[in-house]
Structure 1
């Protein structure tokens, strides 16, 4: 893997948590944050994937702290966050897509996608933001959405609904917390 050139901004002394940080865009975000000087924790359910991501980052001179976490379990999120430092940055990268035709999309698919893409993002953001407020940290909460949060697509009704919801959540949070 070749790492791209990173932006020239500094996050030294800042702490970041990236959900879905063991792979894909989440991993890329974690590497960029670490490159900029932040101390970075990556959260995902799969402990082996977390360890592999941390090892790959270390091979390239970056430190990522793995945190095994099921973000859909609000009680677990609260307990884990209580054991970690207060974060300056939260990147909500964890996401789930199940592409099914609208007429046959299952309740299970709907519930699973909404649980990760909307519910988990809402509640982890709520808890991180409360801790930022309590410590008087002017931080950043970043939600990774999708073009499907702006347009529709065939076999994407559930995914689109979740990303439209995430776009609305982002706007409401910005108004309330900004």
Structure 2
């Protein structure tokens, strides 16, 4: 018989998680799962009504959640919002978009919109969360050379 690996605890009590694109779909499911595991979840999206409702629902289920209206394509707004917040331990960098159409019909505006959110914004959100982790010293275990 093969010995199976033991799964580590999925409890996240005392951890803060940022979920972008948390108003619906995968982002909402991730926020709900993280809250169920005990994390304090910050739901971020441009859809204020959706994230307000989602964070209310998480709190009604006994979880800890808050909503922040944030357009992650606005790097200045990301910097202001995340530097004025306590550091995060977890990032679900979920915000994304698509403009489905045939390859030969994609315009520069379509390309820029998709890449601006799916790549550029994701990069700078991750960078800002990492800066917060580094400042709070939660990265020193993984990256002791940062000091």
- Please tell me whether the aligned partners of residues 39 and 64 of structure 2 are also in contact (alpha carbons under 8 angstroms): no
Deviation at 1:58, TM superposition (A): 3.2
Aligned Cα root-mean-square deviation (Å): 1.8
Gaps of 5+ in 2: 1-7, 141-145
Larger Rg over CA atoms: 2
Question: Any conservation in 2 of the 1:88–1:138 contact (CA below 8 Å)?
Answer: no
Per the normalisation by structure 1, the TM-score is: 0.70
Distance (whole Å) between structure 2 residues aligned to residue 65 and residue 47 of structure 1: 11
User: How far, CA to CA, are the matches of 1:136 and 1:81 in structure 2?
Assistant: 16
For residue 44 of structure 2, what is the aligned residue in structure 1? 43
Partners of 2:139 and 2:70 lie apart in 1 by 25
CA distance in 2, matches of 1:12, 1:34: 9
Aligned partner of residue 12 in structure 2, secondary structure:
coil
The list of structure 1 runs, each at least 4 consecutive aligned residues, that deviate by more than 6 angstroms after superposition, is: none
CA–CA distance in structure 2, aligned partners of residues 57 and 42 of structure 1: 10
**Normalising by the residue count of structure 2, what TM-score does the alignment of the two structures yield?**
0.84
Q: How many residues are matched? A: 134
**Take 1:125 and 1:9, find their aligned partners in 2: how far apart are those partners?**
22
* Relative contact order higher in (CA < 8 Å, ≥ 6 apart): 2
